[in-house]
Amino acid sequence: MIPYVRDIEVVYGRCDQVSPLIRRVTANNPGPFTFKGTGTYIVGKGEVAVIDPGPDDPAHLEAILAAVAGERVTHILITHHHSDHSPLAGALKAATGATIYGCAVAGHEVEDTGEVKMEAGHDLDFRPDVSLCGGGAVSGPGWTIEAIPTPGHTSNHICFALKEENCLFSGDHIMGWSTTVITPPDGDMGDYLASLANIEARHFTTLWPTHGPPIREVDAFIAAYTAHRHERANQILRALEAGPGRIRDLVPRLYADVDPRLWPAASRSMLAAILYLSGEGKIVAIDNAGSDSEYRLAD
């Protein structure tokens, strides 16, 4: 079982000093995929980096600028291109002259269909000034940040490690309040599991997700996070032992304990798991593999 951490006090627009080198300002965009809202992190003093400035919200921009008054923003770091993370980067750059760093998505996935969006949406215009798709490092007075590519949630997801505090800004890759949605074709379960293993091997002291409180028991949390993904995959295999099935029929059974508003997202993550299992040779599609396809166990 995942030892979720969900206890966080949020005052929108307030700047909170959460560690010696880190401040956080939370945007007023709570929701089923953003929890209490987007936590924008400010790293350093005097010359600072801003991580995930968040949604296109003038009030949040004003709060960030107030938090760094008298300082110089030199770097804007983006974990990925979803619209609760990256859209404000352009306005923040215009106000500060900072350089935007991140990874542009290779292709634009088709927007999710259905009554509920899988995410807050996609920032299709996101283009960083400097690409960190292959990793890299940036620094300022008293701080050094390493970009660690972590594809899975999206193909262009990046986590950022702060050397001086042995911590990781984990974006949506690892969150304390919820599991991460994997939405094919841009999201990939195999990539996600490999990225989790990569982060686990680094033994960070603290994870700072973009949504929700920090994760302090990092190794145990990632181990449980990974075990949960494998258990979900095993649930699918056990469900198909009774005969072929479709995702739309399996989700209400396997996600009965999840808010039904999130079932469309669960359907996408289940598709990611099924595609992963198909690649492992454990499941085959009776017709072409897709969201509406019927699947069975491989012979």
The pLDDT, as a whole number, for residue 229 is 96
Q: Is-contact 119 82, C-beta < 8 A? A: yes
Question: Alpha carbon of 153 to those of 66, 70, 82, 175, 299: distances in Å?
Answer: 32, 36, 10, 12, 30
Question: Alpha carbon of 51 to those of 85, 171, 218, 277: distances in Å?
Answer: 9, 9, 20, 34
Question: Alpha carbon of 149 to those of 9, 41, 188, 288, 296: distances in Å?
Answer: 30, 19, 14, 31, 34
Q: Is-contact 206 34, C-beta < 8 A? A: no
Assess whether the region 15-217 and the region 228-297 belong to the same CATH fold. Answer: no
Residue type, 164: E
CATH class of 15-217: alpha beta
pTM greater than the 0.85 cutoff: yes
The pLDDT, as a whole number, for residue 118 is 43
The pLDDT, as a whole number, for residue 287 is 83
The pLDDT, as a whole number, for residue 172 is 98
Fold exhibited by the domain 228-297: Arc Repressor Mutant, subunit A (1.10.10)
Extents of the domains making up the chain: 15-217, 228-297
Distance (Å, rounded) from C-alpha 224 to C-alpha 26? Answer: 27
Distance of CA 210 to the CA centre of its chain: 8
DSSP H or E segment with residue 294: strand 294-297
The pLDDT, as a whole number, for residue 121 is 74
Q: Is-contact 3 224, C-beta < 8 A? A: yes
Distance of CA 138 to the CA centre of its chain: 21
Residues of the chain with pLDDT under 50: 110-119
- CB < 8 Å & 24+ apart, contacts of 109-113: 109/183, 109/185, 109/186, 112/183, 112/264, 112/268
